[in-house]
Amino acid sequence: MSGASLAEVARLPRLAIVGGAMILAWIMVALLAPWFAPFDPIEQDLTRTLLPPNLQHWLGTDNYGRDVLSRLIWGARLDLQMGLVAVAITFSIGTVIGAIAGYVGGFLDTLLMRLLDVTISFPFFVLMIAIISVLGSGLAGFYIAVALVGWVSYARIVRARTLVLRQSDFVLAARSLGFRPARILLRHIVPNAIAPAVVFSMSDAVLYILLGSSLSYLGLGVEPPTAEWGVMIAEGQTYIATAWWMTTFPGFAIALLALAFSLFADGLAEVLGTST
């Protein structure tokens, strides 16, 4: 958001501030993982497998003797990254396509919107999994699949706003003042059109974090032994009866991060006067 000042932050509802603080906390955890994590997340110690939470290993150890807390902290890096990068990609592509379709209109608009309809007509998860199966698993495949599928929501939102704004008096005024079309689109329409897309991107980040960890859980995303929450849950599944801490804590982490984004999104929506 351009022009977000302290005064604007102060107007945020309390829950949004809580959500924002939680997001910031997760970002700090992810950035400072090498310092926060008490143990190496990958190195195995087969003498200390499946220890329940204790003073040395606060969240216990897994079947290879790795510290769950350390894997959780390192995992925050990947999961946060998957959420934020995926949203950055889809937000950018969707906004560009939506703004151009809405502003230029005509044949180009029809073409882009039919493309959007085709993309949307496939179930989201099925299409993602199909694309990743073709591209191969891993983060690169994940991001490409997200870019191919995820732009549609943003394109729809931004196009709808652009169509309204294009007819607005201040855009007409800008035309009568002799501003060039590119300037009108970039400086006057897009900044006013993206507010609902920004709000949506927050809840969308939740979706991509869940998607990323789900795909890793299914073996289509990040691969073991990398520390990632979905991978951790998948590995812990076998031991769920004996070592509950292996699945429960990564599950909590996903829920907490998702909650943080959701709270922030709600508060933002309230302030920007949009609803998701």
Partner 1 sequence: MNVPLLEVENLVVHFPLPRGVGDMAAGRPRRVVRAVNGVSLAVRRGEALGIVGESGCGKSTLGRAMLHLVPATSGHVRLDGRVVAGLDREGLTGLRRRAQIVFQDPHASLDPRQTVRRALAEVLTLHRLCPRDAMGRTVDRLLERVGLSAALGDRRPGSLSGGQCQRVGIARALALNPDILVADECVSALDVSIQAQILNLLLDLQAETGMAIVFISHDLGVVRHLCHRVAIMYLGRLVEEGPAEVVLRDPRHPYTRALIASIPGLGHGPKTAVQGEPSSPIDLPAGCAFHRRCAEAMEVCRGGAPPARQGNAEHGTWCHLPRAGGTTPIAQETGLR
- Residue with Cβ nearer partner 1 (89 or 189): 189
* Least CB distance to partner 1 at residue 155 (A): 21
* Least CB distance to partner 1 at residue 171 (A): 8
* Least CB distance to partner 1 at residue 168 (A): 6
* Least CB distance to partner 1 at residue 188 (A): 5
Helices (H), the chain: 6-10, 14-31, 33-36, 68-104, 106-121, 124-135, 139-166, 169-176, 181-183, 190-193, 195-217, 229-237, 245-272
- Residue with Cβ nearer partner 1 (21 or 173): 173
At residue 67, what are phi and psi to the nearest 5 degrees?
-75, 120
Say if residues 71 and 227 touch (Cβ distance below 8 Å). yes
User: ∠175-151-125 over CA atoms, to 5°?
Assistant: 160
At residue 61, what are phi and psi to the nearest 5 degrees?
-125, 160
- Residue with Cβ nearer partner 1 (93 or 165): 165
Residue 52 preceded by cis peptide, ω within 30: no
Of 96, 154, 150, nearest to 276 by C-alpha is 154
- Residue with Cβ nearer partner 1 (3 or 136): 3
Which residues of this chain interact with partner 1, rule CB under 8 A?
2-3, 168-170, 172-179, 183, 187-188, 191-192
- Residue with Cβ nearer partner 1 (10 or 177): 177
* Least CB distance to partner 1 at residue 186 (A): 12
